[in-house]
Structure 1
């Protein structure tokens, strides 16, 4: 639902509260909890509440959806996902063709089968009933109150000055807005027709952006005051995986073409057991991807995770 609207020099700025978007953010945290320590207690509570099979399904489906980041685009493209209650929004999505859904997934070089999409909708229904319905009672008034406050600040400071305050990784100039993630994303200020601002209590410390044509989508992060000053466990595992000469050599060898443990053993002149041990640590750090090809397991570099390492380090240092 639209909380407020500001129109400034040809650019519309909308402040939207979407319960479905916030539920996607919650599922993102649950599928990747190591990087969201401000929600550690909530994750533990949910893990104790739901059965292991359901939790495994949530995590597994996160792998299909970039930890639910892809489906957050539903809220950018379908107004019904913002304007309706969560059960009604899920009902709306059940009538959207798989062809339209896969047009969204195609931008991320992924796709869903019809069976997988139906499974996803059932997952949403169950998560809402068992977990999120009760959570929403607490966070909904907080989110709407914050959005109203942000709208007031937008009128006072100007919408672009407000955008500049949303995250440390946003850099504003007279001509453009630069968003620094795994790479720089640049938006020309004059070409922007609409800026949509959501708020979330879950996704801190991420910079969440969506750029679709002349529309920009941003998420204001809400700190509930329970942030624990610990280093993210996923970042610790990644840096540990990089902190060894053999593991770095393996990454270099598989950077252009995937290789098996047998191939790596011959190239590096070490035992297959040593290669397997190194690969296990790198998998824990999410630096490698494996797939079966015939009788062999082939290991390739996870280039997306590699690209994000500087961002995650900066994110932890500047945002905690």
Structure 2
């Protein structure tokens, strides 16, 4: 649990619309990035997972992500081949997809649930990941925030966000998915990835970012008291001459810039005692989000855990009204 009021008062947060740097070639950069990886796309594989679960189908998916590289995911779904709406979920910082069948709630509620492994991560909490990141990095702080940060083309999250957007293509091709009802969600890092996927792939019908990380990088790096943002702070404390270069790179990956491009309905959540993700960074993305149908759940006395199952219940009701 965090300390009271880690950021601006709620009334100020609701009107917080900062000037967040956006590169002039932001759209061109992402169009080029996605086109290069789509050109290397290979057919996915989907095989039964090894699990004692029998009443819900659990499958092991491998699909082509950034550079055509194999990315793993779990597909958990109701029995039968009647097309169902899908919820694609992205994972928090340094977590992995874990053991098959760990997350059954969405499938039990009638959705096809697709849980994407985050390349190179999966050893910080939970039960592990299965997807390597075959790319190296120049000098970096331990963690993922500064890997390849000298150039947008080499930055770690270029690969992750591309994986996330291309997964939507794969999901829409499944005969058991209603391609017109595909949603994206995730908490923390998963929330930041959600914003990117919703902006980059027009097949996303709704977006549900929870306590999203990777928003308003400049403010977050300067003011957040803990990790992972402190990885960037430590990097800049050593590489004193790279400050503007680093923030220029990060502007291509800022959740605020993705949020501006989201037109699908969006349900955010924020926790006002969050010491990992500043509430103002969440509100910056929410207030500047391009969707005409957007709302935000505020958890006044929670830290980075946010609303947990209470938020999931809100999401199911919100989705039912839109799908």
Q: Same fold (TM over 0.5)?
A: no
TM-score by length of 1: 0.26
Kindly name which structure, 1 or 2, has the bigger radius of gyration based on alpha carbons. Answer: 1
Greater helix percent: which structure? 1
TM-score by length of 2: 0.26
